[in-house]
A = this chain, B = another copy of it.
Amino acid sequence: METGVEEAETGRPLPIARIIAPRSVAVVGASDDVGKFGGRVIHYLLKHGFPGRILPINPNRATIRGLPAFPRASAAPEPPDVAILAVPASALEAQVADCAAAGVGACIVITGKLAEAGPAGAALQERVLAIARGARMRLVGPNCLGIFNPVDRAMLSSSLALEEDDYRPGGIGMVSQSGALMGTLLSFGHHHGARFSRCVSVGNQADLALEDFLDFLVTDDATRAIALYIEGLRDPRRFRALLGGARAAGKLVFIVKAGRSEAGAAAARSHTASLAGAFAAFEAVCRAEGAVVMQDPQAMVLAADAALRLPPWPAAGLGLAPIASSGGSTVTFADMLPGHGLRLARMADATRAVLARWMPESHIHLPVDTGSFHEGTSGDGLAECIRAFMADPDVGAVAVPMTTQPDMAGRAALLPPLARAGGKPLFYVMSAGKVGDASRVAMRAADFPFFDRVSDALAVMRALDEAAAGRAVPPAPERPAGMAPAPALPGGALTEGEAKRLVASCGIATTRETAVQSAEEAVAAAEAIGYPVVLKGVSRAVVHKSDAGLVRLDLRDDAALRAAFAEVSSRLGPDAEGCVVQEMARGEAELFLGAIHDPQFGPMVLVGAGGILVEVLQDVCMAPAPVSAEQARAMIEGLRVAPVLAGLRGRPADTGAAADTLSRLSWLAAELGPRLVELDINPLILRAAGQGAIAVDARATLAKEETP
């Protein structure tokens, strides 16, 4: 890695700040023909006003686009900071070697058919990388689309997105593992007036990776919000630390990651490791660091833009105030809120009083149809109502879903000053086609975001609400009292008894139980514990005891227990370890708790609806371990079953005890580290509020060999 000393002494390796804003650029394979990659690269450098020196490299031409051309990079009059290579794969190695010889600081390799294409390409990529490393020359790519840097007018790319005019500099930094997608998003954002700082397509990441450019963006003054398209991480823990750095720097991060649907499929499977699929862990870590994971790349760009150009979303969980001159557009807007996890605001009395000046009492409700104003839709009335909503404490943002009407552009122009004065976001949606263009022009002129789709606005609102929830750095969790060292246990799948000893060691309540080898021992144990009891057959080979007929619940007397013992014993195989008699726990509700060691992000805990429905409903929340009891409580309260726990019908369950249990489990996972493969408590029975929670069953698998 680069160090300050090396840079100061030698300028090598070239720092990212210089790669992104080079003083000179050699274009290898330069051409006058914009139909060719190299022709487009030089065309776009010129079109977008690159202020540094452009060095066309082409052995057959004396000038290209009026600039002196050179046969090789090494023939250039000075060592170029950056060389852009869009040559056939067959020519790549020689050209990179020439760049290395020329003292090029970094090669941006657009050339594809390298590692992504198979073993031969991978070998070529390795050779190219070795040449670069040998010369302490950096590589961006290969198989990338280069760098867009409107701040420095350095558009180092062949992407057709550069056909757009006038990419003005802005605050959105982007790193993408897909160049084509990034180019599309730049053009899409540009249509909306979004403005970018530095955007990098990282391609195959032979040398510089997404994490390196994210590191740069986190400290880059020009970048104030970050959008990432990720396929896979090279260094997950560095990535997590960088997200933390972005939050500390006050920069919101919006992410789309490939692989969500695989995770969905995995979550439907039946054991903890599947529930904890890689995507879920990724999402949990991002959430823990305040980054927002989204599904739709287009919405991601709009969210990053809205985060910068709208006033900040005040706080998570506030309501929306839709207001426009059409009942149809405001009502359908309001109807779409719950599907995006959003809600209407509750109007304050002061707001009602303002609305009462403009409209009949019977029409004062959200959403507001300004068509019901006494004098018809009025700009003054609209402005006054919006001012009232901006001051209303339950209003997080105002939405104006505009329809075709006279003077749409004039009406639109009223809105940016109202949002800026009010200090809350205002979502202006212009759903119409060409007749809405004058409004869009007005909004671009006011440097204010607009939305072409209600669905876009809703996705962005949702993202900004989530971002608000993650803006503050939570206090570091403290280790709970009463955590004993984990007992010595074998590797592999543990018995229920072993797993319970493990969870009990960190202060989690477990059902009382006694191992028994005969009906007589069982009866004695039951009398000590107190009827009713549960009898379970113990076998290390059986994962789902209930399915194997090894669990008999609610045994109320000696006779029932003896009969159950006979039956369960008959089902146990030769590998079995006998039976246990357990306390029969009852409560108000049950939860599923789990812990895993994610190969990328380390220890994670999860909590979900208990019972068989966890697998159907995927009502699960995951977080990186450890978590505090407060964080654990928030995880539980975010579940869909939360209303049941809170006593939707019947008595409230002890969610406090469940949160304490989850926190303890998270510390156990954190302390076991890679030794823990997976552990789950299913169910944790929650008694009535104040009466605790108890682990009724537990399963765990430890790594066979503990790493020394």
Residues of A within 8 A of B (CB): 35, 112-113, 116-118, 159-161, 163-164, 176-185, 187-192, 229, 231, 256, 258-261, 264, 270, 295-299, 325-329, 331-332, 334-339, 344, 360, 362, 371-372, 376, 403-406, 408, 431-436, 452-456, 459, 544, 546-547, 554, 556, 612-613, 615-617, 640-641, 643-644, 648-650
A328 to B433, CA, bound (A): 28
A689 to B452, CA, bound (A): 52
Q: A118-B360, A181-B329, A190-B434 are in contact. List 5 more A-B contacts (CB 8 A).
A: A160-B435, A163-B435, A164-B434, A184-B432, A297-B431
Q: Contacts of A187 on B, CB cut-off 8 Å?
A: 404, 432-436
Whether A295 contacts B431 in the complex (CB less than 8 A), given A116-B372, A436-B187, comes out as no
Q: Is the CB of A188 within 8 A of B431?
A: yes
CB distance from A614 to the nearest CB of B (A): 11
Q: Is the CB of B454 within 8 A of A453?
A: no
CB distance from A627 to the nearest CB of B (A): 24
Q: Is the CB of A328 within 8 A of B456?
A: no
A179 to B325, CA, bound (A): 11
Q: Is the CB of A161 within 8 A of B404?
A: yes
CB distance from A697 to the nearest CB of B (A): 14
CB distance from A550 to the nearest CB of B (A): 14
A163 to B404, CA, bound (A): 10
| 26 A-B pairs (CB sep. < 8 Å) | A112-B376, A116-B372, A117-B372, A181-B329, A182-B328, A183-B432, A187-B432, A187-B433, A187-B434, A188-B431, A192-B433, A229-B332, A256-B332, A261-B335, A270-B648, A296-B454, A297-B328, A298-B431, A455-B455, A455-B456, A612-B644, A613-B644, A615-B643, A615-B648, A616-B643, A617-B617
Q: Contacts of A403 on B, CB cut-off 8 Å?
A: 178, 180-181, 183-184
Whether A335 contacts B260 in the complex (CB less than 8 A), given A328-B229, A329-B180, comes out as yes
Q: Is the CB of A612 within 8 A of B404?
A: no
A435 to B372, CA, bound (A): 41
- Which one of A260, A433, A544 has the greatest number of beta carbons of chain B within 10 Å? A433
Q: Contacts of A299 on B, CB cut-off 8 Å?
A: 455
Q: Is the CB of A613 within 8 A of B613?
A: yes
CB distance from A444 to the nearest CB of B (A): 12
CB distance from A470 to the nearest CB of B (A): 21
A-B pairs with lowest CB-CB distance, top 10: A178-B328, A191-B433, A181-B328, A180-B326, A180-B403, A187-B432, A183-B404, A187-B433, A160-B404, A260-B335
Q: Is the CB of A455 within 8 A of B180?
A: no
Q: Contacts of A650 on B, CB cut-off 8 Å?
A: 546-547, 612
Q: Is the CB of A185 within 8 A of B261?
A: no
A179 to B327, CA, bound (A): 9
Q: Contacts of A432 on B, CB cut-off 8 Å?
A: 161, 183-184, 187-188
Q: Is the CB of B433 within 8 A of A261?
A: no
CB distance from A612 to the nearest CB of B (A): 6
Taking a contact as CB atoms closer than 8 A, the residue among B264, B339, B405 that contacts A338 in the complex is B264
Whether A335 contacts B191 in the complex (CB less than 8 A), given A159-B404, A181-B326, A649-B547, comes out as no
A603 to B373, CA, bound (A): 40
CB distance from A149 to the nearest CB of B (A): 18
A337 to B261, CA, bound (A): 8
A406 to B39, CA, bound (A): 12
CB distance from A280 to the nearest CB of B (A): 14
- Which one of A116, A176, A335, A436 has the greatest number of beta carbons of chain B within 10 Å? A335
Q: Contacts of A298 on B, CB cut-off 8 Å?
A: 431, 453-455
Q: Contacts of A188 on B, CB cut-off 8 Å?
A: 431-433
Q: Is the CB of B433 within 8 A of A164?
A: yes
Q: Is the CB of B338 within 8 A of A261?
A: yes
Q: Is the CB of A332 within 8 A of B258?
A: yes
A453 to B188, CA, bound (A): 10
Q: Is the CB of B640 within 8 A of A270?
A: no
Q: Is the CB of B260 within 8 A of A649?
A: no
Q: Contacts of A433 on B, CB cut-off 8 Å?
A: 164, 187-192
Q: Nearest CB to that of A145 among chain B residues? A: B404
A191 to B431, CA, bound (A): 11
Q: Contacts of A456 on B, CB cut-off 8 Å?
A: 453, 455
Whether A335 contacts B295 in the complex (CB less than 8 A), given A187-B432, A406-B35, comes out as yes
A112 to B372, CA, bound (A): 10
Q: Contacts of A643 on B, CB cut-off 8 Å?
A: 615-616
Q: Nearest CB to that of A295 among chain B residues? A: B336
CB distance from A262 to the nearest CB of B (A): 8
Q: Contacts of A258 on B, CB cut-off 8 Å?
A: 328, 331-332, 335
Q: Contacts of A327 on B, CB cut-off 8 Å?
A: 178, 231
